[in-house]
Structure 1
Amino acid sequence: MSAEVVVVGSANLDYIIQLDAPPEPGQTVLAHHFHTQSGGKGANQAVAAARLGSSVRFIAAIGDDAEGAAMLSSLKAEGIDTSQVQILPGGRTGAAFVSVFPNGENSISVVAGANLGLSEVHVRESLNHVRRGAIVVVQAEVPVATIQETLDASQRAGLRCVLNLAPYVRIDERLLRHADPLVVNESEASALLSRPVFDEASSREAARQLGEIASSVVITMGAAGAYWLDKEDEGHVSAPAVGPVIDSTGAGDAFVGALAACLAVGRPLSESVQLGVAAGSFSVMRLGAQSSYPTAQGLGTHV
């Protein structure tokens, strides 16, 4: 049985600062700490799956700049196949500016850069080389047409596709039927359904409604865990108690990467969500995204 995870998505360099509170308009504040590391939802999810033992292939676009070179080096060090990462001449690698506050919450501004150059043609041709049984993962920091081509091409190739519709963008509802699962948080589910989704009860109802469109659904709820639904069953997975929350940046990506790694070895959605919740909960106790992701040994489990 294949354990390959193919991630189609974004690659950014994260610029992370820790500060007490966001500045008011016209105000200057002093930060406590600054560092950079590889990020982007796509790259984060690729690293999260690789850390848990999956064979991971990454399909993305970066600039031909120092940041892109550093990104490639970091991904290769994780054992990720980067042969289908496009290097765009004259392009600037995507960047994310992350402010982290004492309660672990964050605010993030993204400059997409080369991510907007990830073409439908490149994705289509890359997925032609993926063997059956692999899990394809795509998020929404790349062009909508590229997301839709990933879903379409996966369907044509008989590949299971995980769609993490984050950040929320509007896509053709016909293509949502190819999502297996569709993964959204409460905010993204609210945008999809045009009504508030904010707790376990509303997440359950949202999952049931979205389950009429997508093959399966997962709604993540932060510290409250996640609600999942497929054709056979549904349920809620509680998040474990964790130590002090240091930084929630990339916790959703840790969840998706772990979920994909588990699905790739044939585990059911219920077990995959459990592993995803464990990985996401682990990550919030450490600063940064990729630097906070667990190995299988760290979680005391295996995939």
Structure 2
Amino acid sequence: MARVVVVGSINMDMVVATETFPRLGETLFGTRFSTFPGGKGANQAVAAARLGAEVTMIGCVGNDAFGAQMKTTLQREGIDTRWISTGEEATGIACITLTGGDNAIVVVPGANHELSATDIDRAEAAIADADVVLAQLEVPLATVLHAGKLARRHGKPFFLNPAPAVALSDELIALTTLLTPNEHELATALQTPEAYWSEVLQRMPGRIAMTHGKDGAYYSTADGELVHQAGFSVDAVDTTGAGDTFNGALAAFWHLGTAEAVRRANAAGALSVTRAGAQGGMPTLAELEQFLQAQA
């Protein structure tokens, strides 16, 4: 069982389904409203836990109903929540509009932006005991950087999902064992032309695993060879959380080697879009194994 520490955001997702995205100034009738536990950090933690990893979550919620609900939800997934602090701000939320299997998202970070280096230091023992430390960018960059430094201090792989996309400092890039962007995030994170992503992967051998939608994922080996893991064909219901599922799975299966970890992460991401909700669609280990056997 892999031990994964996730440093990241915890949100409540409020989802509206519509026939089409509203234009500026337009009011539309929606077809459905739902709330789902979310946040990239919490999503990736749940994905890893369902796939058999022993997961610890480091994050921050508000002293409100959403915060209590989110901690309870994570605990039900078997995730260690001891290092989730309570901030002054309200629990983070995401407003998601769904139409035709696509989504548009507005995030209000709230308490997520209160996660600090001090919170990371409190959980240093968990990081020291981890097999993989996984972070995203919905919490302060300084906090993510500090988590990377602690992971390096203890000799632990540090995975960074650079989303939402921002330009990364050389220091943070140097601390990152594996960068896990999509094509757009890669260009923004490394300040390179989007069309040159394959060259970028080869220039950073073994250090990037890039998702590419239905096409699957690409990564480079330690000697710079570009490898394509083909996508899996499924009927998409809700693409929210597919990337988070990929990341959680990648961390959970990293001990199996890059090729197998990416293959399983790609399959888990595909499975996740077949059901509604970022966490609601995330598969269990048994579901993933059954899916992979059917693809053989």
Q: When the two structures are superposed, what TM-score results if normalisation uses the length of structure 2?
A: 0.93
CA distance in 2, matches of 1:81, 1:159: 19
Q: Look up the match of 1:134.
A: 131
Residue equivalent to 1:284: 273
3-state secondary structure, aligned to 1:300:
helix
- Which AA in structure 2 matches 1:70? Q
Could you list the structure 1 runs, at least 4 aligned residues long, displaced by more than 4 angstroms after superposition: none
Q: CA deviation at 1:68?
A: 0.2
**Separation in structure 2 between the aligned mates of residue 105 and residue 196 of structure 1, nearest angstrom:** 25
Matches of 2:125 and 2:78 in 1, distance apart?
A: 22
CA–CA separation in structure 1 for the residues paired with 2:86 and 2:269: 30
- Partner SS state of residue 291, structure 1: coil
- The amino acid across from 1:207 in the alignment is L
CA distance, structure 1, for counterparts of residue 129 and residue 11 of structure 2 = 29
| Aligned-residue offset at 1:247 | 1.1
Note if contact 1:134-1:160 (Cα within 8 Å) is conserved in structure 2.
yes
* Stretches of structure 1 lacking an aligned partner (at least 5 in a row): none
1:208 to 192, 202, 223: 202
In structure 2, how many angstroms separate the alpha carbons of the residues matched to 1:234 and 1:152?
A: 29
Contact map agreement 2:10 2:39 (CA 8 A) in 1: yes
Hey, what does 1:242 align to over in structure 2? 234
Give % identity: 38
1:272 paired with 2:261, answer yes
- Structure 2 unaligned residues grouped into runs of 5+: none
Separation (CA, whole Å) in 2 of partners of 1:45 and 1:35: 20
Match of 1:107 among 104, 115, 138: 104
Q: CA deviation at 1:193?
A: 4.1
What number of residue pairs does the alignment pair up?
A: 290
Give the whole-Å Cα distance in 2 for the aligned partners of 1:286 and 1:132.
34
Letter in 2 for 1:32: T
Does the 8 Å CA contact 1:9/1:59 hold for their aligned counterparts? yes
1:132 Cα deviation from its structure 2 partner:
4.2
Counterpart Cα distance in 2 of 1:279 and 1:8: 21
1:176 match: 173
The answer on whether the counterparts of 2:127 and 2:150 sit within 8 Å (CA) in structure 1 is no
Counterparts of 1:30-45 in structure 2, within 5 Å, are 30-45=29-44
Q: What is the identity, as a one-letter code, of the residue corresponding to 2:146?
A: E
Map of 1:158 onto structure 2: 155
Residues 40-84 of structure 1 show CA distances to partners (whole Å, capped at 9, x for unaligned) of: 000000000000011000000000100000001110110100000
Shift of 1:11: 0.2
Distance, in Å, in 2 between the alignment partners of 1:81 and 1:114 is: 19
Shift of 1:97: 0.2
3-state SS of the aligned residue for 1:294?
coil
Q: Deviations over 1:142-178 (max 9, x none)?
A: 0010111111111011111111111112332122122
For 1:225, give the aligned amino acid. Answer: G
The alpha-carbon deviation at position 259 of structure 1 amounts to 0.3
Comparing 279-288 with 106-115, greater Cα deviation is found at 279-288
| Separation in structure 1 between the aligned mates of residue 217 and residue 129 of structure 2, nearest angstrom | 28
Matched residues in 1 for 2:167 and 2:192: separation? 15
Question: Match of 1:163, as an amino acid?
Answer: L
Q: Distance in 1 between matches of 2:173 and 2:20?
A: 38
Asked whether the equivalents of residues 128 and 157 of structure 1 are also in contact (C-alpha less than 8 Å), the reply is no
SS at match of 2:85: strand
Matched residue SS, 1:44: helix
In 1, are the aligned partners of 2:10 and 2:70 still within 8 Å (CA)?
Answer: yes
Shift of 1:20: 1.1
1:1-303 paired onto structure 2 within 5 Å: 3-88=2-87, 90-102=88-100, 104-132=101-129, 134-197=131-194, 202-209=196-203, 211=204, 216-232=207-223, 233-243=225-235, 245-263=236-254, 266-300=255-289
For the 8 Å contact 1:17–1:31, the answer to whether it is kept is yes
Distance 1:30 1:207, change over 3 A: same
**Aligned-residue offset at 1:133:** 5.1
The separation in 2 between residues aligned to 1:25 and 1:190, in whole angstroms, is: 28
Q: Is this contact kept in 2: 1:65–1:91, CA < 8 A?
A: no
With structure 1 as the length reference, what TM-score do the two structures score?
0.91
For residues 218 and 161 of structure 1, the distance between their equivalents in structure 2, rounded to whole angstroms, comes to 13
